[in-house]
Chain A
Amino acid sequence: MSSRSLYPEIEPYDAGKLRVDDLHELYYEQCGNPRGKPVLFLHGGPGGGIEPRHRRFFDPSAYRIVLFDQRGCGRSTPYASLVDNTTPHLLQDIETLREHLGIDTWQLFGGSWGSTLALAYAQAHRERVTEMILRGIFTFTDEEKDWFYLHGTRVMFPDAYQAFVSAIPEPERDDLIGAYYRRLTGDDASARRAAARAWSIWECRVATLLPDDGLVAHCDDAGFTLAFARIECHYFVNNGFFSPDTQLLDNMDKLVGVPAIIVHGRYDVICPPRNAWRLHQAWPGSLLRMVEDAGHSANEPGITSALISATDRFARR
């Protein structure tokens, strides 16, 4: 199979703000073909926000590409807010946005937390989903969470983990996520920033197969980092608002028959390949593409190529 790269840069033909409750307003945009096949891009984090390059996974002549910033991040407001910010709220937001845009059914495309949210939405609104393309699978089980923050990733990235741990004083290290959460939600602005920075850099240093200084610099950018760290940590201390922790895997019978392509990097040490393997086993008919020379990021060549092959394949369905 030939290697595919991103579609050309593209500007939205429509962008707007959608008020979803008394507090939150969401930024959304539409690109590509207004009469094309609708696809919803779900970003990661939670708290990661959308970027212009996210528009480019889709053939703009075939797709009507919808992207939005989830509560509290990107251009959605209020920035970094944790109030009324839960998975059920995000699921409702997706429905609100769909109705606002007059879309009946759409394809879901999401990586990392975006895959989590896509699975949760599809399980709640199966009838709205045409196909699913998921990358860097994360189903929010305790085992997956512990892998990244406690005992898995650190085995291969002990140097980066040391920096992550060093941001927290020794007596508090028994509960690292809790210690980060207290700082990220505390009154001390400089402590918040320092914690947000250490939290985000840990993730960015291990996100790509080869070290990517540009990505690490992005994760060090105050505008990105505070929302990313605060919202992510908030979801983690609340177990993603799932119950039990295996909720998404337990309900895969609801998605039988949904055409699905799973793309996963072999050296994804944030969401290890086992996550994808388990999802694939629980989801008859799903296709699993293991990309041998890639990590977690959506931006590595093998991952990008597999994702675009997937959107192309579903474009004319």
Chain B
Amino acid sequence: MRGRRSFYPDIEPYDTGWLKVSDLHTIYYEQSGKPDGKPVVFVHGGPGGGTDAKQRRFFDPEAYRIILFDQRGCGRSTPHAELRDNTTWHLVADMEAIRQTLGIDRWQVFGGSWGSTLALAYAQKHPERVSELVLRGIFMLRQKELRWFYQQGASAIFPDTWEGYLQAIPEAERDDLIKAYYTRLTHEDPAVRLAAAQAWSVWEASTSFLLQSRDYMNHAGEDEFALAFARIECHYFVNGGFFEVEDQLLRDVDKIRQIPAVIAQGRYDVVCPMMSAWDLHRAWPEARLEIVSDAGHSAYEPGIVDVLIEATDGFRP
């Protein structure tokens, strides 16, 4: 068996900027790699997760013009953790604004978890702008996916860390945990908001890797990160991702089936379990589904990194 592909070396952006996309919101973006290379946009997760320097390294810098941006309200975009004018369709429009600002005609769209949701939504809205799709840990924001992770499902696999998520909510409100969290995440008292944000974020972090990562859990519990991550995620979830119907992304697969695509899915992804990748694969058999037997949800699991880089390498000019 060949060895697994690993990350390209650390790289610094050759260009960074802020784009004012509304009266309220300003978006951070950056470009790395080869300025006249094949354009690719990295779509981060959450929503509210922000970008990270490591994410530049999924792409051959000799071949790609690599664009990362922080979605509304998170990372270096401002205002931080803001929920107003923050919907899927605002983000899709922001991607178009970035594309036009950078003078790009078509680009590859690369995203995992919520990044796969937004990538699919963007591609279905603007298929002519997408050269390829590289997707990971498929999430289509359907009620059964939300219930699995936030109400009942993943709790059976991680009953121990589930206790921490559960204990932040009084027993009387546990019938609808997402709603109970939303009340707290949007509470007027910053201490209430922060406590809820930490419990919410640590639950996800504790279940994101095949083998639990303490470092990642600690990172997820940091105030700034947790607040944006939890508030924005929960805001999108109580609003059904702002989709017209809950299976909109499956319904509209026909709009994108001509786009070359690779789907990487960890078998032990308990955050976005394989049923969604499977449903997408059945609706869209042309997309190549790669199941990684020894991986959870994270983009940084070795088997997932391997499949993702194989995909971006394969799509090089």
Contact surface of A with B, Cβ cutoff 8 Å = 147, 152, 154-159, 209-211, 266-267, 269, 272-274, 277-278, 290, 292-293
8 nearest CB pairs, A to B = A277-B159, A158-B278, A272-B156, A274-B156, A274-B159, A155-B273, A155-B275, A158-B275
Q: What residues on B are CB-neighbors of A156 within 8 Å?
A: 267-270, 273-275
* Cβ-based interface call for B153 (8 A): yes
Check B274 against A157 for contact (C-beta < 8 Å): yes
Q: What residues on B are CB-neighbors of A211 within 8 Å?
A: 293
* CB interface residues, B 262-301, toward A, < 8 Å: 267-270, 273-275, 278-279, 291, 293-294
Check B275 against A274 for contact (C-beta < 8 Å): no
Tell me how many residues of B have a C-beta within 8 Å of chain A.
23
Q: What residues on A are CB-neighbors of B267 within 8 Å?
A: 156-157
* Cβ-based interface call for B160 (8 A): yes
**Complex alpha-carbon distance, A159 and B276, angstroms:** 11
Give the nearest-CB partner of B266 in chain A: A156
Check B278 against A267 for contact (C-beta < 8 Å): no
Given contacts A209-B294, A211-B293, A293-B211, whether A159 and B156 have CB atoms under 8 Å apart is no
Check B160 against A267 for contact (C-beta < 8 Å): no
Q: What residues on A are CB-neighbors of B210 within 8 Å?
A: 267, 293
Instruction: Name which of B156, B274, B291 has the most chain A CB atoms within 10 A of its CB.
Output: B156
Known: A156-B268, A209-B268. 18 other contacts (CB 8 A): A155-B153, A156-B269, A156-B270, A156-B275, A157-B274, A158-B274, A158-B275, A210-B293, A211-B293, A266-B157, A267-B157, A272-B157, A273-B156, A273-B159, A273-B160, A274-B156, A290-B160, A292-B211
* Cβ-based interface call for B216 (8 A): no
Instruction: Name which of B212, B268, B269, B279 has the most chain A CB atoms within 10 A of its CB.
Output: B268
Check B278 against A159 for contact (C-beta < 8 Å): yes
* Cβ-based interface call for B243 (8 A): no
Give the nearest-CB partner of A271 in chain B: B156
Contact surface of B with A, Cβ cutoff 8 Å = 148, 153, 155-160, 210-212, 267-270, 273-275, 278-279, 291, 293-294
**Complex alpha-carbon distance, A273 and B157, angstroms:** 5
Given contacts A209-B294, A211-B293, A292-B212, whether A155 and B159 have CB atoms under 8 Å apart is no
Give the nearest-CB partner of A269 in chain B: B157
What are some 30 contacts across the A-B interface (CB < 8 A)? Answer: A147-B156, A152-B153, A154-B275, A155-B274, A155-B275, A156-B269, A156-B270, A157-B274, A158-B274, A158-B275, A158-B279, A159-B274, A159-B278, A159-B291, A209-B268, A209-B294, A210-B293, A211-B293, A267-B157, A269-B157, A272-B156, A273-B156, A273-B157, A273-B159, A273-B160, A274-B155, A274-B156, A278-B159, A290-B160, A293-B211
Give the nearest-CB partner of A278 in chain B: B159
Check A210 against B294 for contact (C-beta < 8 Å): yes
**Complex alpha-carbon distance, A154 and B279, angstroms:** 12
B272, chain A: closest CB distance, angstroms: 10
A142, chain B: closest CB distance, angstroms: 14
Q: What residues on B are CB-neighbors of A273 within 8 Å?
A: 156-160
Instruction: Name which of B269, B273, B291 has the most chain A CB atoms within 10 A of its CB.
Output: B273
B133, chain A: closest CB distance, angstroms: 21
A202, chain B: closest CB distance, angstroms: 15
A140, chain B: closest CB distance, angstroms: 16
A283, chain B: closest CB distance, angstroms: 15
Q: What residues on B are CB-neighbors of A152 within 8 Å?
A: 153, 156
Q: What residues on A are CB-neighbors of B211 within 8 Å?
A: 292-293
Q: What residues on A are CB-neighbors of B155 within 8 Å?
A: 274
Q: What residues on A are CB-neighbors of B274 within 8 Å?
A: 155-159
Q: What residues on B are CB-neighbors of A147 within 8 Å?
A: 156
**Complex alpha-carbon distance, A242 and B100, angstroms:** 66
**Complex alpha-carbon distance, A210 and B210, angstroms:** 12
Q: What residues on A are CB-neighbors of B158 within 8 Å?
A: 266, 273
B301, chain A: closest CB distance, angstroms: 13
Give the nearest-CB partner of A147 in chain B: B156
**Complex alpha-carbon distance, A314 and B215, angstroms:** 36
Instruction: Name which of A147, A154, A157, A266 has the most chain B CB atoms within 10 A of its CB.
Output: A266
Q: What residues on A are CB-neighbors of B269 within 8 Å?
A: 156
Instruction: Name which of B212, B267, B273 has the most chain A CB atoms within 10 A of its CB.
Output: B267
Give the nearest-CB partner of A206 in chain B: B267
A171, chain B: closest CB distance, angstroms: 21
B39, chain A: closest CB distance, angstroms: 34
Q: What residues on B are CB-neighbors of A293 within 8 Å?
A: 210-211
A249, chain B: closest CB distance, angstroms: 14
Q: What residues on B are CB-neighbors of A266 within 8 Å?
A: 157-158
A160, chain B: closest CB distance, angstroms: 10
Q: What residues on A are CB-neighbors of B153 within 8 Å?
A: 152, 155
B204, chain A: closest CB distance, angstroms: 17
Q: What residues on B are CB-neighbors of A277 within 8 Å?
A: 159-160
**Complex alpha-carbon distance, A293 and B296, angstroms:** 12
**Complex alpha-carbon distance, A210 and B293, angstroms:** 6
**Complex alpha-carbon distance, A123 and B14, angstroms:** 70
Q: What residues on A are CB-neighbors of B160 within 8 Å?
A: 273, 277, 290
